[in-house]
Structure 1
Amino acid sequence: MMPVKDGFALCDTLKNDERTSHIPIILLTAKADFESRISGLRRGADAYLTKPFEQEELLVRLEQLLALRRKLQERYRTPSFAEQPAASEEVRVEDVFVQKLRELVLQNLEEEDFGIVQLCRALAVSRTQLHNKVKALTGRSTTEFVRMV
């Protein structure tokens, strides 16, 4: 048990916050019933493992999540990612963030004073949060992403 929030509440918090929605979440829990498993996955968990768990299963899940993350980075690396259809019909928070970032850059191309600080302010994130999220989603630094746009 976690002291303040349970894993479901933490998953809700992380997946619904634009700053942290890109972070993969594996719920490792003693709640093995079907309803708990479905609830965890519906809240955005990328994987749901019950205790006791097999180390090999955890490693395979991690490998799959890393492979998925690499595919996502490849998708966002291409300059034409905005025209590419999403893998599923539902809009992902990551897509919304990257599209918003791209639109802000395009809207302010002519502004000499518009830089990373202004971009952070417009997105309501710190410089570190922006760098970490852009790097995690695209595999590029914020500066490289801006140049790509």
Structure 2
Amino acid sequence: MDAMEDQWPDLVISDIQMPIMNGLELCKRIKADIKTSHIPVILLTALNDIENQIQGIKDGADAYIKKPFDARQLVARTEALLENKKRLRERFKIGIPLTKDNNLNIRNDNAFLEKLYHLMAQNLDNQNLDMDQFARQLYLNRTHFYQKVKALTDKTPFEMLKMYRLKKAAELLVEQPELSVNEVYTMTGFKSRTHFSKLFKEMYHTTPGKYSAKSKDSNIS
């Protein structure tokens, strides 16, 4: 736990029977902390006690492997969890809601991102936004906030905010075609039309004006 204050592992593999703190308590603490709840945990045990297995699942363990085991089983389970984590990054990155997912760990991470998206929505037109205020409102220090967002989405908070604002701009251009490009870029927190147009074109491969004109033509036809 002390080591994770400085650097987060991609995955934790822990025995259940350990002195001072057993594996179940370790898993529970990792999953209960918003800073580390996204880290997959594999629990190993020689115990056949079904109660321990049930408790491990309740505490958020992503996998439970009984000893003795074939090393290939552990490697395969590890690879599967890391691949699943990679797929979740893609889903989170594009903002697909996962609140109905039955997986406790996914729900916890989704709740964190929902709060982040809510903060971005509240500050949509804030041209002087300080990202540190997001960290404070999510009860994280600056470093952990950046690490958490990067771990979940493979994007920095600034990249997430930029993508969010550009998507909102595209929605406004389509849903409210009476708005000018100048109005849209200020409504979505960009400081200059030139910068906004450059980023918009990089994402949508066309200028905001042409994007808006195309949506108008579609509505007319």
Pairwise same-fold verdict (TM > 0.5): yes
Q: SS of the counterpart of 1:144?
A: helix
**Seq. identity, %:** 39
Does the C-alpha gap of structure 1 residues 13 and 89 become closer, same or farther in structure 2, counting only changes over 3 Å? closer
Written as runs of structure 1 = structure 2, the 5 A alignment for 1:5-84 is 5-79=21-95, 81-82=96-97
Partner SS, residue 47 of structure 2: coil
Among 109, 131, 140, the residue aligned to 1:94: 109
User: What residue identity is the alignment partner of 2:126?
Assistant: E
Matches of 2:35 and 2:122, distance apart in 1: 21
Aligned to 2:148: 133
- Could you list the per-position Cα deviations for residues 19-45 of structure 1 after superposition, in whole angstroms to 9, with x for gaps in the alignment? 211010011223232221122112110
What displacement does 1:86 show?
4.0
Conservation of the 8 A alpha-carbon contact between 2:99 and 2:110: no
Matched to 1:34, the amino acid is I
Structure 2 gaps, min length 5:
1-16, 165-221
**Matching residue of 1:111:** 126
Counterparts in 2 of 1:85 and 1:136: CA distance versus 1, 3 Å: same
Give the structure-2-normalised TM-score: 0.60
Distance 1:85 1:20, change over 3 A: closer
The SS at the match of 1:32 is: coil
Larger Rg over CA atoms: 2
Residue segments in structure 1 that go unaligned for 5+ positions in a row = none
Provide the secondary structure at the position in 2 that maps to 1:28: strand
Q: Give the Cα–Cα distance (whole angstroms) in 2 for the partners of residues 89 and 64 of structure 1.
A: 16
Mapped partners of 1:93, 1:100: distance in 2:
11
> Highest relative contact order (Cα 8 Å, sep 6+), 1 or 2?
1
Report deviation, 1:114: 2.5
Pick closer, same or farther for the CA change 1:9–1:85 going to 2, 3 Å: closer
Superposed displacement of residue 85, structure 1: 6.5
Q: How many pairs are equivalent?
A: 147
Tell me what 1:124 maps to.
139
